């Protein structure tokens, strides 16, 4: 398997263009199961998760693919299959987004429980709660979510959970409700921009969705949906990763093609840490300080600090002159990168759902392992500022969500190479690891 070898010491400088949002394009691709005719989705990133979902959809009778320019063209040509097999769904959690569309359009589904990043317990009880309210109760049989729904009906359902709202659960319920009889009201809906982007696509298909992006979403069901053309929003997590990299390396980087209104919490953290951040409607320039200041960080549902940026911010705070506290309110066990940062010399102490970061320690290159997508990004960023070389293994996680990240960082002045690290077959991804 591939690894990245990161040489520390470079100050990043220049301009980088953000790709389309992975977390937006995946549920939008799943939504094509609902429609008749071809859908054209523009701006999709060239990442493993997109290609994996294309395989899932192909097995469900949706034909098409991704063009070199990032355009995904999809059309339902066989509305018969209702099985999303374990061998594909295990590779990423977003595959669960086919559940709602299958029950709404094909009236039955057998979808494997999803895999994805190993970041703690991620139940789908709220997905099932939303679908049950619409008339589609499900059971768990042999590791599959199984449901029959002769006809869905509108309902009111509350989807808030102990750690906040559910993004994919909101997406599943919203997609199913578009073809249900009557009106559905989702209270406690996820407010993330990716949910609003999905709603925009559904409305172009002929759906009647109101309020997406707020805690209260109203969907009036329609008889049928058609294919549509849509451009996905920029990836705010990728943008944040490059912005943190600029701050860490005392760099000067302009991140273009962003929605800066989606990045308010991250910008606030960077400014509090001493970075100079200037924004326009579609670009954000970050100039890193000579010395970073400590900052307390708490992840929260949107518009709070995204859990998907927690690891990258922790890497940055390892350099700050003082003590920071990073608290994880979404996935309390999402700290597998802590041990890897410690291998590089970071002074970290986990205390329940929080990590005490005693900043200022000099990081040194080491061989580390990416346990999940964002942990991989964290370790690459740490390698940029560590003394010597950092070898990041299992970067298939990174490839799930970042398009050729090493090439784009190298264009900013980094020194990163990709090669085969010679891992034996026993070290390759096991079921559910990807």
Catalytic residue among 97, 117, 318, 378: 117
Task: Look at the block and give the residue holding tokens 């922790």.
Answer: 314
Give the span between the Cα atoms of 390 and 267, in whole angstroms: 28
Element (H, E) at 89: helix 86-89
Verify whether residue 191 is a known catalytic residue. no
What is the signed CA dihedral for 31, 34, 37, 43, rounded to 10 degrees? 0
SS3 427: helix
Give the strand pairing for 83-84 and 108-112.
parallel
Q: What is the DSSP string of 384-425?
A: HHSBSEEEEE-THHHHHHSSSHHHHHHTTT-EEEEEE----G
3-state helix, strand, coil in the chain (%, to 5): 35, 30, 40
Give the span between the Cα atoms of 394 and 99, in whole angstroms: 29
Cβ–Cβ under 8 Å, residues 219 and 198: no
Radius of gyration of the chain (CA): 21
Other C-beta atoms within 10 Å of 430: how many? 10
SS3 431: coil
Q: What is the DSSP string of 314-351?
A: HHHHTTSSSEEEEEESS-TT--THHHHHHHTT--EEEE
Cβ–Cβ under 8 Å, residues 434 and 88: no
Active-site annotation, residues: 117
């Amino acid at each position: 398997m591939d690894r990245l070898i990161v040489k520390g010491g470079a100050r990043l400088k220049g301009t980088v263009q953000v790709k389309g949002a992975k977390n937006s394009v995946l549920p939008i691709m799943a939504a094509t199961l609902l429609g008749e005719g071809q859908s054209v989705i523009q701006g999709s990133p060239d990442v493993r998760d997109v290609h994996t979902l294309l395989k899932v959809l192909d097995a469900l009778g949706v034909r098409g693919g991704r063009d070199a320019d990032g355009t995904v063209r999809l059309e339902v040509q066989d509305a018969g299959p209702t099985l999303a097999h374990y061998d594909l769904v295990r590779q990423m959690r977003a595959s669960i987004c086919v559940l709602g569309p299958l029950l709404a359009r094909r009236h039955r589904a057998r979808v494997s429980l999803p895999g994805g990043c190993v970041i703690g317990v991620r139940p789908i009880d709220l997905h099932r709660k939303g679908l049950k309210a619409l008339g589609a109760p499900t059971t768990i049989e042999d590791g599959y979510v199984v449901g029959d729904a002769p006809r869905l009906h509108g309902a009111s359902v509350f989807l808030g959970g102990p750690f906040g709202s559910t993004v994919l659960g909101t997406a599943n319920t919203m997609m199913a409700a578009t073809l249900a009889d009557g009106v559905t009201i989702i209270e406690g809906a996820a407010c993330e921009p990716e949910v609003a982007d999905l709603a925009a696509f559904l409305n172009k298909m002929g759906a009647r969705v109101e309020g997406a992006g707020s805690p209260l979403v109203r969907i009036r069901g329609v008889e049928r949906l058609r294919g549509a053309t849509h451009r996905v929003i920029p990836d705010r997590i990728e943008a944040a990763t490059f912005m943190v990299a600029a701050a860490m390396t005392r760099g000067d980087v302009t991140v273009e093609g962003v929605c800066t209104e989606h990045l308010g919490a991250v910008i606030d953290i960077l400014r509090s840490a001493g970075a100079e951040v200037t924004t326009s409607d579609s670009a954000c320039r970050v100039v890193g300080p000579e010395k970073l200041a400590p900052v307390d960080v708490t992840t929260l549902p949107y518009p709070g600090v995204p859990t998907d940026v927690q690891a990258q911010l922790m890497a940055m705070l390892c350099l700050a002159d003082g003590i920071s506290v990073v608290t994880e309110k979404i996935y309390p066990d999402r700290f597998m990168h802590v041990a890897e940062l410690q291998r590089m010399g970071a002074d970290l102490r986990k205390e329940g759902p929080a990590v005490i970061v005693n900043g200022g320690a000099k990081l040194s290159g080491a061989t580390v392992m990416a346990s999940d997508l964002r942990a991989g990004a964290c370790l690459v960023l740490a390698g940029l500022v560590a003394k010597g070389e950092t070898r990041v293994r299992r970067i298939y996680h990174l490839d799930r969500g970042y398009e050729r990240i090493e090439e784009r960082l190298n264009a900013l002045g980094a020194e990163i190479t990709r090669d085969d690290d010679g891992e034996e077959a026993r070290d390759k991804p096991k079921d559910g690891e990807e």
